[in-house]
Structure 1
Amino acid sequence: MWTIKSSHASGWRIALASSRAASRAVRYELRQKGVENEVIDDVVADLDEEAAARAALESKMGGWQHLDRATFQKRAMGFLGRRGFNYAIVKQVCDDGWAQIEEENAAGNEAGG
């Protein structure tokens, strides 16, 4: 089995910076590719889990504007949970996402009426 050494770490950082995945998912993916544990630790140390979760959720929110809160929460929490984010981050990002939807809907109602 071949392994990927630290010389590729900067490339992994760049590739994963926009991956919208939790560090747990990134660790798993890199292990599957044969990356050494030291390199994995170095790569995931720079990941901002909350920012990645927000970016992932924003990619879906456009199609979820019409949902009620319960359905939005269910879909958003499932979506982020399947990507490996922990509950605390998922809950915070989902609450913030719903608040954003409410603000946009309120602004749209004010502008339209």
Structure 2
Amino acid sequence: MTSEERRPAPDWVGDVGLGVKAWVGETPSTPTAPGSRQPGGPAGSTGDEEPGRPRRSARSGRQKGGAGGRARHRTWEEREAAKLARAEAAAAEVEADPEAVARRVLLDTLTGQARTRQELADKLAKRGVPDEIAAGLLDRFTEVGLIDDAAFARQWVESRHRSRGLAPRALRQELRRKGVADEAAAEALEQIDDDDQRAAARALVDKKLRSMRGLEPQVATRRLAGLLARKGYSSGLAFAVVREALADVEGVDDLEPPDL
């Protein structure tokens, strides 16, 4: 397709959840009115459990037997046979229509959460989808914007740094394990500057200090510096932040750098 023939990018580009819905032809759901039946629920169900009324167990319809009316548990051989039967059925489904299976796997996996191309390729390989078909669908999903490793990396870095306080070194390792290219990872990590790192490290130390009252300064220093090291911070920054935090709390200003 030439650039002249390309249509303008749809409104959902950049939002994987909306993109998946657009792909399968769904429209955004609307809130369910009180008392109405939930989509996919049984007739007469409102989605709200009646107070004091026990929920019907999925096992209630199973045939019971044995002493005391207990449900019979399957033997190990029966469980293994059922597992083998499911595997054989899945393999037969892939053999019958591998492209349909691959498309469904991709859409199900992407619903509600972005994934990297490598993660999706691993899932397809695990389902036994042939490499050629997997590569073609992954290319197509990338073309329409449902797979975007650079966007994934930016979102991952912002989220993990904010929620877990991870330093760039730790974040780079996580992105590499997910198959994000080094260039895309480096670009995403540019969001975090030195001030951001120091502020995040100090927040981690301050939170941990609440449970370390009464410890000797040297012990507290080792533990706090170890915490920051596990989060990916350099030893120099870790000690500087720990020393500053302890000085603010206890007036300690003569600690030696810990052995990291």
Q: Taking every aligned residue pair, what percent have the same amino acid on both sides?
A: 28
Partner secondary structure for residue 63 of structure 1: coil
C-alpha separation in 1, matches of 2:157 and 2:167: 13
Contact 1:20 1:56 in 2 (8 A): yes
Gaps of 5+ in 1: 104-113
The 5 A counterparts of 1:47-58 are 47=192, 48-58=196-206
| Counterpart residue number, 1:40 | 185
- Shift in Å, 1:28: 0.2
- Quick one: structure 1 residues 37 and 97, their matched pair in 2 at CA, closer, same or farther if it must change by over 3 Å? same
Larger radius of gyration: 2
| Counterpart residue number, 1:102 | 250
C-alpha separation in 1, matches of 2:158 and 2:230: 23
C-alpha separation in 1, matches of 2:154 and 2:161: 10
For 1:14, give the aligned amino acid.
Answer: E
C-alpha separation in 1, matches of 2:170 and 2:231: 7
Q: TM-score scaled to structure 1, two decimals?
A: 0.77
Contact 2:150 2:188 in 1 (8 A): no
Q: CA RMSD in A?
A: 2.0
Gaps of 5+ in 2: 1-115, 119-147, 252-260
C-alpha separation in 1, matches of 2:237 and 2:199: 10
Partner secondary structure for residue 21 of structure 1: coil
Give aligned pairs, total. 103
- Shift in Å, 1:65: 2.1
C-alpha separation in 2, matches of 1:30 and 1:21: 12
For 2:237, give the aligned amino acid.
Answer: I
Which has a greater percent of helix? Answer: 1
- Shift in Å, 1:73: 0.7
- Shift in Å, 1:62: 0.4
| Counterpart residue number, 1:28 | 173
| Counterpart residue number, 1:7 | 151
C-alpha separation in 1, matches of 2:173 and 2:244: 28
| Counterpart residue number, 1:78 | 226
